[in-house]
Amino acid sequence: MPKTLNIIIYPDKTLRVKCIEIKKVDDKIRRLISDMELTMKEKDGVGLAGPQVGQTIRVIIINTKDGPLAMVNPKITKKSWRKESGEEGCLSIPDFYGSVKRHKKINVIYTDKHNKKIKLAAEGLFARVIQHEIDHLNGVLFIDYLPKKNLKDLPEE
């Protein structure tokens, strides 16, 4: 049975780690994915990345209308020149929100739960969440895009 994982909260240093590639999706990774899916659902998140549950490996979960989508080693292969602003939050930075500009459309390549390589095109909120979660794998947080003066209420790193 999947279990709920603890969410790492900012300014924990784990959130700043550059995560490593997953060589092969095995049962251990699949178990982590199930646990992350449950955790995202319980916390009512739109996405979740490995480092947010203390696993500094390249795996993210996206909440889609068809259910949770797990992406291993996701990589953006193309991004639109056009960007758009949207409000973002993060389970690791509770009760804090800010407007971030993201590419409107992206193409992504990733490995699925069964080690299959998948390509997909995303736009709008879906594209935004993928960009936010891939940032997590590189130790980047959405607050990094906000003006310094907006970060006064956050603890110091």
Pairing of strands 105-111, 93-103: unpaired
Q: How far is the CB of 26 from Ni ion (least distance, A)?
A: 26
Residue 102 and residue 157 in contact, taking contact as beta carbons nearer than 8 Å: no
Q: Where does this chain touch Ni ion (CB under 5 A) — which range of 2-10, 14-22, 90-98, 99-107? A: 90-98
Q: Residue 89 is inside which H or E element, if any?
A: strand 83-90
> Residue from 90, 129, 137, 143 that binds Ni ion (CB under 5 A)?
90
Q: Where does this chain touch Ni ion (CB under 5 A) — which range of 26-34, 59-67, 82-90, 120-128? A: 82-90
| Residue 157 is a catalytic residue | no
- Please give the Cα distance from 97 to 119 (Å, whole number): 30
Q: How far is the CB of 154 from Ni ion (least distance, A)?
A: 14
Active-site option among 123, 133, 156, 157: 133
Nearer to Ni ion, 99 or 115 (CB): 99
Q: Which residues are catalytic?
A: 133
